[in-house]
Chain A
Amino acid sequence: MIPIPHTWVLLLSAVLFMIGSMGVLLRRNGIAIFLSLEIMLNSANLVFAAFALKLAHEGQMAAAAAGQLFVFFIIAVAAAEAAVGLALFIAIHRLKESIDVDRLNILRW
């Protein structure tokens, strides 16, 4: 089995981060924005995993563990964010019968 170089993983994560951030900026549906946010956080997870892999190949196991730990914390934070975000979307849907963010435009200039 040929090991995958960590630069490839970094490249993939950069692509994912771009997809996520573009999604947040361009999509108008609340849930789609939400999914894009999750993609952004998970692309950061991939970077941590990639660097941890590199450090593990170099034999620095303690340093690798620090990065892998960070991943678990990001996953937990993403879950908490999901709880808060979905609650917000439900509250908005009750008031507006829609979660299209373009319909929320009272505050401007």
Chain B
Amino acid sequence: MQTTPAHTPVQPPIDPAAVRARVLEIIVRCLDCKPASLSMNSSLWGELGAESLDMLDIVYSLERAFVIRLPRLNLFQRTSNLFGADTVVVNGVITPVGLELMRRSMPEVRAEAFHQNMRIQELRQLVTVESFARIVLRCLAAKAALRCRLCGGMPAPVPDSPMELVCAECGASIDLPSGEELMMADLVRIGAELGLTPAAARETTTGAPA
């Protein structure tokens, strides 16, 4: 007997151009600026004078608009946590390895923007509207691949609870992919390309024998 799903699954195709346009629109609203003053390459901290609360506002707004979970840590925090602060920055200056990690993690930024003797404070000047669009697209792709762990069913939204998903087949709760974990997985992959091992793994393998 065929059962009727309790919820209607939604799996809209991802249209990168539409996502970018929506990201731009949301950031315009969050920064209360004129649309004409903003492009995908606008630097939020630099050109647009965004403050930390604005960044949080953008994150919250994007999460609700796209029903995704964005990361909370910035790239410097993430790379430091993963590979150790000394690997990434020495005396406030980003190391060559750190620069390469950042460059590969932010493909939307011109490679020459990651210059020698770059100080860590300069990094945030490179965050653009496109940076947010990239992360949103990454989270959307992960969400599109999401299936119920119990029955493999498609996720469906919960009426009146926009940030919750349930399985359209069995009704089990489905967690949205964690943006933090996605970014971390990407960074592990990039680190591996550069021959870097996460600090925790290094400690495990080099720890004193019992």
Question: Is chain B a partner of chain A in the same complex?
Answer: no
- Which residues does B use to contact A, with CB under 8 Å? none
User: A interface vs B, CB < 8 Å?
Assistant: none
